[in-house]
Amino acid sequence: MKLIPVAVLTLALATPLTGCGEDRAAVCSSVDDLQTSVDEVRDIDVSSSGALADLESGLEAIGADLSDVKSDAKAEFSSQIDDVQASYDALVASLDAAKESASAATLSAAATALSTFGDDVRTLITDVQETC
């Protein structure tokens, strides 16, 4: 039952994300790194015994990449970054709750948080890529 959040995360992040152009600003590079981390989480084998640990590691990488995007984007994308940071924090909290006590309620909350996070990440990446 603990693999359900991993499966939901994999599906929510399955939308391919495209990279920035050749002449990249720092924010384009950091968004590419974020995309790579999201892709790696998406590719987690949810049936493996280490899926939960892989997810936790992947979320840590996503968190670090979000920090880089935030630093590189400065105020230009602050609204989108704030949305992604808030939804990331909610996702981590909901996955922690699901790990501690897997139930229909905690898994539902994780799925909702995951959907919001996926939407927010896609919006941020799309908006940044339009400027690359």
Q: Can you give the CATH number for the domain in which 83 is found?
A: 1.20.120
DSSP string, 56-125: HHHHHHHHHHHHHHHHHHTTTTHHHHHHHHHHHHHHHHHHHHHHHS--HHHHHHHHHHHHHHHHHHHHHH
**Span 55-100, pLDDT tens digits:** 889 999 999 999 999 998 878 899 999 999 999 999 999 989 988 9
% of the chain at pLDDT higher than 70: 81
Overall residue count recorded for the chain in this entry: 132
The answer to whether the beta carbons of residues 20 and 29 sit under 8 Å apart is: yes
Q: What is the rounded distance in angstroms from the CA atom of residue 88 to the CA atom of residue 47?
A: 24
pLDDT in tens, 6-30: 555 554 554 444 444 433 578 999 9
33 falls within a domain: yes
pLDDT digits (tens, 9 = 90+) for 91-114: 999 989 988 988 888 888 888 888
Q: Which domain holds residue 72?
A: 3-10+24-129
Number of domains in the chain: 1
